[in-house]
Amino acid sequence: MRYRKILFLILTFFGFQTTGFCQVYSIPEDTKRIVFLGNSITYNGKFVSYIDAYLTLKYPEKNQEIINVGLPSETVSGLSEPGHANGEFPRPDLQERLHRVLERLEPDLVIANYGMNDGIYLPFDEGRFNAFKKGMDGLHQAVEHSGAKIIHVTPPVYDERKGAAYANVLDIYSDWLVSCLYTKDWKVIDLHWPMRKELEDRRSLNPEFAFAKDGIHPDESGHFLMAKIILLGLGENVYEAKTIEDLLSPFNKGNQILALIEQRQEIQKLAWLSETGHLRPGIPEGLSIREAQEKVAEINLEIRKLITP
């Protein structure tokens, strides 16, 4: 608790620029496939597409494949509140599908963003916190055992105007993840505290400002901020970018390429979610992997034509 308050005061005093106190991680040169894991915020995929667009435009020669298999409602803690989704289904547990994702996708790098759902929107409880920590340990070990590397990302901010108690839960979960940088030698990008600082700054100018109307799911500006913070954590010099347009402005035809990448992301996401399987009702069926790869190859050809002078 004391650490968290001191940290937030330091960030506020020095006009924190969304760099965080965590280390910077350069993506290894031999990385070919990056897989994003997370809940509905990751499934939405805007921030993943923004990251994909930036890296594709800046490093076209690397041919890195970024695949998003975020799943709405999912937790890493394995917990679900009574009556979730009006009693239609419990929250999916990442552990149910994780081994299939790692086996079928064979990632070189996993970027994981969990926490938002893991306290199941209730006040802090030590048992739920322990379940979150155990789930994160299990995720980390499974990824490392598969031969891939993993970067953990702290959860986005939960708007305290929708519930101060749960906002505090995510503060605590985020603090623990940041501490794993030192206690477990994990790679951690702190998204939570920079996003909270940005929310406070914007509210000082406009008291009605919110990244998420429901307190949970960020709008496009929130997804852009998430992408920016993660890119900063990956060592990219994007400090000055204030919008996705700013981020892509150094590159020729950036907006056209982003539109194609968003198509590519959606095709791959649904195909791989169907291929690897899950227990979350309501997710559209994807193409077969073969059909998806054919569509993606066509999109990649269009992207290369736009990138090539």
Please state which of the ranges 10-19, 204-213, 219-228, 262-271 shows the lowest mean pLDDT.
Answer: 10-19
The position carrying tokens 């499934």 is 43
Cα 83–Cα 84–Cα 87 angle in degrees, nearest 5:
50
In 3D, which of 235, 158, 145, 245 has the Cα closest to residue 195?
A: 158
For the segment 238-249, the average pLDDT, to the nearest whole number, is 96
Is the pLDDT score of 11 beyond 60?
no
**Can you give the pLDDT at residue 22?**
56
pLDDT interval class at 23 (50, 70, 90) = confident
Question: From edge to edge, which strands make up the β-sheet containing 109-113?
Answer: 65-68, 33-38, 109-113, 149-153, 187-189
Domain ranges of the chain: 2-243
**Torsion (CA) 189, 192, 193, 197 in degrees, nearest 10:** 130
Percent of the chain with pLDDT over 70: 93
Task: In whole angstroms, give the CA distance from residue 44 to residue 266.
Answer: 9
Is the pLDDT score of 265 beyond 90?
yes
**Can you give the pLDDT at residue 1?**
45
Is the pLDDT score of 128 beyond 70?
yes
Q: How far is CA 256 from the centre of its chain?
A: 23
Is the pLDDT score of 105 beyond 50?
yes
Q: Assign a CATH topology to domain 2-243.
A: Rossmann fold (3.40.50)
**Can you give the pLDDT at residue 134?**
98
Instruction: Render the burial of 258-281: b for 16+ CB within 10 Å, e for the rest.
Output: bebbbbbbebbbbbbbbbbebebe
Please state which of the ranges 19-28, 90-99, 136-145 shows the lowest mean pLDDT.
Answer: 19-28
Is the pLDDT score of 5 beyond 50?
no
Has this prediction a pTM greater than 0.95?
A: no
Task: In whole angstroms, give the CA distance from residue 282 to residue 219.
Answer: 22
Is the pLDDT score of 74 beyond 90?
yes
**Can you give the pLDDT at residue 232?**
97
pLDDT interval class at 43 (50, 70, 90) = very high
Average pLDDT taken over every residue of the chain: 93
In 3D, which of 257, 297, 233 has the Cα closest to residue 57?
A: 257
Give tens-digit pLDDT for 185-229.
999 999 999 999 999 999 999 999 999 999 999 999 999 999 999
Copy the structure tokens of residue 89. Answer: 């289904």
Cβ-Cβ contacts under 8 Å for 9 (sequence gap 6 or more) = none
Task: In whole angstroms, give the CA distance from residue 192 to residue 200.
Answer: 12
For the segment 44-52, the average pLDDT, to the nearest whole number, is 98
Question: Between these two residues, 1 and 269, which has the higher pLDDT value?
Answer: 269
E strand intervals along 161-268: 187-189
Is the distance from CB of 73 to CB of 85 less than 8 angstroms? yes
For the segment 258-273, the average pLDDT, to the nearest whole number, is 98
